[in-house]
Structures are given as C-alpha cells and as structure tokens.
Chain A
Amino acid sequence: GQQVMQIPQYQHVQEGEDFTTYCNSSTTLSNIQWYKQRPGGHPVFLIQLVKSGEVKKQKRLTFQFGEAKKNSSLHITATQTTDVGTYFCAGAGTALIFGKGTTLSVSS
C-alpha cells in the first residue's frame, strides 16, 4: 500500500542555522501537503504542491515537489525559535497519508 516516509525524525539546530526535512512516497502522488504542529497544538496547514518540480516559498520556508512527484522537501533558512514544532508531510494518492513528522527544536 501507499507509504510516506519522512526524515529525520528529530532535528536540533542553533538559532540561525538552516533546517531541511524530506518526504518520500512509495507511489506517485497527485499532490503533497505540509503541516506544522506546535507543541501542545494541532496540525496547521502550511502549503500544497501539485505540479511536478514545483517550488514554493513562504518567507524563510521553501517547499519543493520532485519531478517524479514521489518526494518533497521543506527547507527553513535561518531558523528562529518560533519555528519550533513538528512538521508533517501528507501525500495524496488513493488516500491522504501523513509522514511520521520531523520534530524541530531550536536553541538560542
């Protein structure tokens, strides 16, 4: 069945360093979504990518969708303490499958 793998599971960075999380699907996806969950909170939608090779930016966040529509990445430039949380990808195929998430901690 459809599987979505996300790495790393945890990442600790110093404030100002960059951060990247990667998402890989076992099947070709129709679209992929990214969510952020703050500690103690609920997942909040960040963005959706639909087209092969698509790149979207939101301030310091850059999202990419692979050419084969099977992988994606989220890159944060110059992390801030407000970036702390767990980032999930969700791949849409026959179902919407969430990755296990990458938990980001940032020390100042």
Chain B
Amino acid sequence: DADVTQTPRNRITKTGKRIMLECSQTKGHDRMYWYRQDPGLGLRLIYYSFDVKDINKGEISDGYSVSRQAQAKFSLSLESAIPNQTALYFCATSDPGGGVPYNEQFFGPGTRLTVL
C-alpha cells in the first residue's frame, strides 16, 4: 500500500554500523509496529507504539531501538548491526477499536537489510 511507506527499500551495511529504517503512514492510524521476517520463522514483533507517547517492546527487541517522531512516523534503529540481523523488516499500522484488542494490520512494502 502506498499508504505505508518504508525507506530504504534495500540496504547493505557492515557489522558494527548504526542503521535507521524509517516508516511513514498517511492512514491516520495511531498504532504502528515493526516486524522482522526470516525464512521459515514468520513475522516476529520487534517494537510497537499505540500512540506518540507510547513505546513497547515486542518479542525480539534486543539490539533494536525505536523512535515515534509523530503519529505518522516510526523509525527503527540498529545501534550496532550484526550479521544475524540480516532480514526483511516490515512496518505496519492499525486502528484501535472494533471491540477487539488488535485490528487489521496494514503493512508497508518492507526493507531488505543485509549485514555483512
């Protein structure tokens, strides 16, 4: 969806470098998420934010940090990249409500990160 954009789309970096992945959305959603996808492991949640002042760790937050700069922007940082952080990273957004704890997730196109 063009409503959720991620930059860069591809990145190759070296071990020890600091990397920032950016996500922007025009859907007006309060909730934003960062996922990591590895072959055969599905989607694993790294961090999530339910509003600008709210940041929560997900299943695999070690080695990552996030910043919610505005309702529309949520960045993921790798402070010191290591090879096993090579993966496909997805940003997603959702709206609260509907009587369920988690609603439909809208995913960005993904960032393919390679750490050498």
Which residues of A are at the interface with B, using a C-beta cutoff of 8 A? 6, 9, 30-31, 33, 35, 41-45, 48, 50, 88, 90, 92-101
| Interface of chain B: mostly helix, strand, loop or mixed | loop
CB <8 Å contact, B43 and A43: yes
CB <8 Å contact, A50 and B99: yes
Nearest Cβ on chain B to A105's Cβ, whole angstroms: 15
> What band does the interface of chain B fall in when counting residues whose beta carbon is under 8 Å from A?
20 to 34
| Cβ < 8 Å to A, chain B residues 84-111 | 90, 99-110
CB <8 Å contact, A42 and B100: no
Interface residue from B44, B90, B99, B103 paired with A42 (Cβ < 8 Å): B90
- List of B residues within 8 angstroms of A96 by Cβ: 45, 101-102, 105
Which residues of B are at the interface with A, using a C-beta cutoff of 8 A? 35, 40-45, 58-59, 90, 99-110
Q: Taking CB as reference atom, which chain B residue is nearest A98?
A: B43
CB <8 Å contact, B45 and A48: no
Q: How many contacts between A and B, using CB within 8 angstroms?
A: 60
CB <8 Å contact, B110 and A45: no
Query: Can you spell out 14 A-B residue pairs with CB atoms less than 8 angstroms apart?
Result: A6-B42, A30-B100, A33-B105, A42-B107, A43-B107, A48-B103, A90-B43, A90-B102, A93-B101, A94-B101, A95-B102, A96-B102, A96-B105, A100-B40
Nearest Cβ on chain A to B94's Cβ, whole angstroms: 9
- List of B residues within 8 angstroms of A88 by Cβ: 42-43
Q: Give me 4 other A-B pairs in contact (C-beta within 8 A), A90-B43, A97-B59 excluded.
A: A45-B104, A96-B101, A98-B44, A100-B42
